[in-house]
């Protein structure tokens, strides 16, 4: 009952953490990989334009590709070496989609190609800070991968009053944010202070789940000389890392469905993003490495590892001693919301915070049964939806029915599937329904566009016909013979009628 009272929001679950596998080991700094594979297509589908060609020698930190606008972060070379190839390579997309990928062969030299000297960050204006974040190619490292600089700029325009740093890390197995806060607390704090200044808000709150006491201590001592920052401990409850739920837990405010958190004056960033912002602003270093958790029961040596972007998953697993048993699935991200990797040769990108090699015992895949309406999913749903009803409607592709029961609000957090005693793959149904809805909406948009064009064309034809008619009438008015003029007008009217009816 006490636990119930302390719950900051309805629902949520306490999945088995498995964090002890990696939480107490120092982060390993991985060597320069022999090859990196950098996707030229971003998560949002935009294709970057490469500034280098096959055979070019490039240096670590060099800008190698850019996109058409600020919504696409620029791409930098994570290692020194030579461009080996530009061609299709398997991506992290669950379908195993091949996208245009730039391959760099490394020469093993770990030094930056361009010197990155520290600067006095206190002299930088907020715009300069945001520009440096944009130039460094930083995206949200929590998993969504939204360009951080854009988020900061948007928050500044919206006059946000609070920056909330998400150190929740509620997904089981993942400990990279925990390790980062323990090992680089000062950098996280400095990054947070820079972000507070960039958006011009009054305070920054670092929210940490209560199952990470070492991180809480480290962050508390790191922010002791920064009065604008504070640490707030939140209960460990999945999905605490969800933006809306973290805001509710920290400030007791709720963000209405369909609204952004900036509407109530709060901007949420991940702690790892704050650390990347520090490096970007102080040293002008681009984001070319990240700390990720490599864990799972099938892995020989689970660890947190600092890897270069573009390293293959197979290389990362090999660095962690390889697999000790047959893995059931390879997952990018955590076990709750992570995605199945379609191949071990997928390169790491900026938004992959973990790689899990899960054994069959951990996955616990079982045949699903009929729903017994036990209501466990309703109790577990952090959005207070009725997952079993949504699944029943999604199953028969009754998309309106599924939306009626809250499909649009679903976070796809998987809490319902985790507790379902009938092992119903609820999230699978929701994803099916969501993508069907998206497809339907795209079709609708397309047909609306087509309709608009057709109407515009008809209006134009009509206008032209009218103009012709008017010209003819004017011509006829100048001529003395009225009879022919009337006949020609009638014919003209008939033709215009035909056009509009067709």
Residue 201, marked binder: no
Give the whole-angstrom CA distance, residue 214 versus residue 178: 8
Nearest to 114 by CA among 61, 42, 183, 172: 61
> CB-wise, 6 or 445, nearer to other proteins?
6
437 binds other proteins (CB under 8 A): no
Per-residue interface string for the shown chain with other proteins, residues 352-391, x marking contact by CB under 8 A: ----x-x---xxx-x--xxxxxxxx-xx-xxxxxx-xx--
Q: H helices of 77-167, where? A: 126-135, 148-157
Binder to other proteins among 60, 184, 329, 393 (CB under 8 A)? Answer: 329
> CB-wise, 21 or 133, nearer to other proteins?
21
Phi-psi region of 487 (alpha: psi -120 to 50; beta: other; left: phi over 0): alpha
Instruction: State the distance between the two ends of the chain, measured CA to CA, in whole angstroms.
Output: 70
Helix (H) or strand (E) holding 460: helix 426-478
Q: Is the peptide bond before 36 cis (omega within 30 degrees of 0)?
A: no
Paired residues of 162 in beta bridges: 203, 266
Spell out a b/e string for 4-32, using b for 16 or more CB atoms within 10 Å of the CB, else e. Answer: eeeebbebbbebebbbebbbeeebbebeb
How much helix, strand and coil, in percent to the nearest 5, is found in the chain? 40, 20, 40
Per-residue interface string for the shown chain with other proteins, residues 13-42, x marking contact by CB under 8 A: x-xx--------------------------
Least distance between other proteins and beta carbon 269 (Å): 20
Residue 381, marked binder: yes
> CB-wise, 197 or 393, nearer to other proteins?
393
340 binds other proteins (CB under 8 A): yes
* Interacting residues with other proteins between 440 and 499 (CB under 8 A): none
What is the per-residue DSSP string for 344-408?
TTPBP-TT--EEEEE-HHHH------------HHHHH-TT---HHHHHHHHHTT-HHHHHHTTGG
Spell out a b/e string for 327-354, using b for 16 or more CB atoms within 10 Å of the CB, else e. Answer: bbbbbbbbbbbbeebbebebbbbbbbbb
419 binds other proteins (CB under 8 A): yes
Give the whole-angstrom CA distance, residue 307 versus residue 101: 18
> CB-wise, 218 or 341, nearer to other proteins?
341
Least distance between other proteins and beta carbon 276 (Å): 26
Total residues in contact with other proteins, by rule CB under 8 A: 73
Least distance between other proteins and beta carbon 359 (Å): 11
Least distance between other proteins and beta carbon 419 (Å): 5
Least distance between other proteins and beta carbon 407 (Å): 11
CB 270 within 8 A of CB 276: no
Binder to other proteins among 19, 417, 433, 476 (CB under 8 A)? Answer: 417
In the numeric block, which tokens belong to residue 305?
Answer: 């590892």
In the 8-state DSSP scheme, what is residue 299? B
> CB-wise, 78 or 387, nearer to other proteins?
387
Least distance between other proteins and beta carbon 423 (Å): 7
Residue 176, marked binder: no
Least distance between other proteins and beta carbon 232 (Å): 20
CB 401 within 8 A of CB 381: no
Residue 413, marked binder: yes
Per-residue interface string for the shown chain with other proteins, residues 251-290, x marking contact by CB under 8 A: ---xxxx-x-------------------------------
> CB-wise, 238 or 283, nearer to other proteins?
238
Residue 119, marked binder: no
Residue 374, marked binder: yes
Stretch that binds other proteins, among 53-61, 78-86, 146-154, 326-334 (CB under 8 A): 326-334
Helix (H) or strand (E) holding 332: strand 329-332
Least distance between other proteins and beta carbon 405 (Å): 8
Residue 170, marked binder: no
Per-residue interface string for the shown chain with other proteins, residues 88-127, x marking contact by CB under 8 A: ------xxx-------------------------------
* Interacting residues with other proteins between 157 and 216 (CB under 8 A): 172
Least distance between other proteins and beta carbon 439 (Å): 17
CB 251 within 8 A of CB 266: yes
In the numeric block, which tokens belong to residue 446?
Answer: 């397309």
Least distance between other proteins and beta carbon 432 (Å): 9
Binder to other proteins among 339, 436, 488, 496 (CB under 8 A)? Answer: 339
Stretch that binds other proteins, among 149-157, 182-190, 312-320, 424-432 (CB under 8 A): 424-432
Q: Which stretches does DSSP call E strand in 69-116?
A: 75-76, 81-90, 98-106
Stretch that binds other proteins, among 80-88, 138-146, 276-284, 336-344 (CB under 8 A): 336-344
Angle at 297 between CA 294 and CA 302, to 5 degrees: 30
Q: Which segments are annotated as binding site for [4Fe-4S] cluster?
A: 371, 374, 377, 381, 410, 413, 416, 420
Q: Which segments are annotated as binding site?
A: 371, 374, 377, 381, 410, 413, 416, 420
């Amino acid at each position: 009952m006490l636990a119930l009272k302390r719950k900051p929001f309805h629902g949520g679950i306490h999945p088995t953490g498995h964090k002890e596998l990696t939480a107490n080991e120092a982060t390993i700094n991985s060597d320069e990989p022999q090859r990196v594979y950098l996707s030229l297509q971003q998560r949002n589908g935009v294709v970057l334009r490469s500034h280098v060609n096959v055979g070019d020698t490039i240096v670590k930190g060099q800008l190698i590709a850019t996109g058409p606008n600020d919504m696409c972060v620029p791409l930098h070379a994570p290692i020194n070496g030579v461009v080996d190839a530009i061609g299709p390579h398997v991506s992290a997309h669950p379908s195993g989609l091949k996208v245009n990928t730039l391959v760099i062969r490394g020469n093993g030299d770990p030094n930056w190609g361009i010197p990155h000297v520290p600067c006095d960050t206190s002299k930088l204006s907020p715009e300069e800070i945001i520009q440096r974040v944009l130039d460094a190619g930083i995206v949200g490292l929590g998993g969504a991968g939204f360009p951080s600089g854009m988020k900061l700029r948007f928050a500044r325009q919206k006059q946000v009053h609070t920056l909330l740093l998400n150190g929740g890390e509620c997904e089981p197995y993942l400990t990279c944010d925990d390790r980062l806060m323990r090992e680089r607390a000062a950098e996280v704090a400095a990054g947070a202070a820079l972000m507070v200044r960039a958006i011009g808000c009054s305070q920054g709150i670092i929210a940490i789940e209560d199952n990470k006491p070492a991180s809480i201590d480290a962050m508390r001592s790191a922010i002791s000389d920064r009065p604008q920052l504070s640490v707030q401990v939140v209960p460990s409850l999945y999905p605490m890392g969800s933006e809306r739920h973290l805001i509710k837990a920290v400030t007791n405010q709720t963000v209405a469905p369909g609204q952004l958190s900036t509407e109530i004056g709060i901007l949420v960033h991940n702690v790892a993003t704050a650390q990347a912002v520090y490096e970007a602003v102080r040293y002008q270093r681009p984001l070319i490495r990240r700390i990720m958790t490599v864990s799972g029961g099938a892995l020989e040596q689970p660890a947190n590892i600092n890897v270069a972007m573009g390293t293959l998953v197979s290389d990362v697993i090999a660095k962690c001693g390889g697999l000790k048993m047959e893995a059931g699935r390879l997952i990018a991200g955590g076990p709750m919301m992570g995605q199945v990797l379609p191949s071990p040769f997928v390169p790491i990108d900026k938004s992959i915070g973990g790689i899990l090699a899960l054994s069959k015992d951990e996955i616990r895949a079982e045949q699903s049964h009929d729903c017994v309406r036990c209501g466990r999913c309703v109790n577990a749903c952090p959005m207070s939806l009725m997952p079993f009803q949504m699944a029943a409607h999604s199953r028969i592709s009754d998309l309106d029915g599924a939306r009626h029961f809250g499909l649009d609000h679903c976070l796809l957090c998987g809490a319902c599937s985790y507790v379902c005693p009938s092992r119903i793959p609820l999230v699978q149904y929701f994803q099916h329904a969501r993508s069907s809805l998206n497809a339907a909406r795209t079709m609708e948009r397309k047909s609306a566009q087509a309709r608009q064009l057709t109407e515009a064309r008809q209006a134009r034809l009509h206008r032209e016909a009218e103009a012709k008619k008017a010209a003819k009438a004017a011509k006829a008015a100048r001529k003395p013979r009225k009879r022919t003029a009337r006949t020609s007008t009638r014919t003209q009217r008939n033709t215009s009628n035909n056009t509009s009816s067709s």
